[in-house]
Amino acid sequence: MSPQTTSFKSLEDLRAACLDLPAGSDASAGAVARRQDTLTKPPGSLGRLESIAAWLGRWQGRDMPKLDAVKVFVFAGNHGVTAQGVSAYPSEVTVQMVANFAGGGAAINQLARIAGAGLDVIPLDLDHPTGDFTITPAMDEKAFLAAVSAGYDAVTGDLDLVCFGEMGIGNTTPAAAISTALFGGGAEKWTGRGTGVDDAGLQRKVVAIEAGLKRHADSLSDPLKIAAALGGRELAAIFGATLAARKNNVPVLLDGFVCTAAVAPLARLHPTGLAHTIAAHVSAEAGHRRLLEALGLPPLLDLGMRLGEGSGACLAVNIVRSALECHARMASFAEAGVSEK
């Protein structure tokens, strides 16, 4: 990992930050809602587009939200648990895909361009995979905090909306492990085929997750220790970035299963920890719909996607832009000379 400003010195330092979250602006959300009621449409007829506009206003703290600065962050990490045969692809693909992002050849490059979003790809110590969590914690406290801090430090208050994505061969296994640890029900409930493992590979994933849960049983009462013991650097960075977005009044579009699992510990630490986020889509990965339901996050899109990279979140930027365009540019009944009800 490249040198950086470390934002958190201990788990307790991080925990304190997670427990002290701004609530957003009721006044701005109310101003948006009042304007919606004056526009040339039946009240509520734009459905979630109206609530999206109010969500932007609340978390930006603006009566008239804006989307001038939108950015996608893709965090990349490698995972020691791939030694258990949990992925259909080798770990070197992570590095190769990071190079593909840099060359503009990935799906997220195209989707970010069409959405009018910047793209930052942040590799996290790819030459040193996390520990195999069936044997050892994925990250010790120092490594976990460094990855959280890398994500936290990436997000600045001059952004209007952010999307988070990930690249990491094998990372649906940590995502399923975190989901199981946080919400129970056994590994089979949360484990899917990821990049396309066969039946034997799926069973290896379940066995690895159960072994990890048993190995780290003493950590399972603490969401932060769960994220360190069972997660990955890119998941930790997404956690940190989502926390920073909340502190900086920047609304967040969440991507798929890995991204959602990465931020789920924040919801366990604070009852409104994910209030500044919207689930952009529900992926085809088996556990994602269950996880969104457990977190109370209804998705905007359901397109059968399972790519990661922030692809589903980036697609949803276009919906958010549409919500804002209607809110900002529609005429009121008075302006248009249209009779009200």
- The SS3 of residue 76 is strand
Q: Give 173's contacts (C-beta < 8 A, 6+ positions apart).
A: 79, 81, 82, 84, 86, 87, 191, 194, 205, 208, 209
Catalytic residues: 309
* 281 SS3 class: strand
> How is the chain split among helix, strand and coil, in percent rounded to 5?
50, 10, 40
Q: Among candidates 34, 173, 148, 32, which has minimal Cα distance to 91?
A: 173
Residues 6+ apart with CB under 8 A from 117: 70, 71, 72, 163, 314, 317
Amino acid present at 308? G
CA distance 130 to 47: 43
Distance CA 175, CA 262 (A): 7
Cβ(19)–Cβ(290) below 8 Å: no
The Cα 311–Cα 236 span in angstroms is 19
Smallest CA-to-CA distance from 163 within 294, 300, 46, 269 is with 300
Residue 186 DSSP label:
-
Joined tokens for residue 131: 């520990």
Q: Which residues have a Cβ under 8 Å from the Cβ of 150 and sit 6 or more positions away?
A: 1, 4, 75, 122, 124, 233, 237, 240
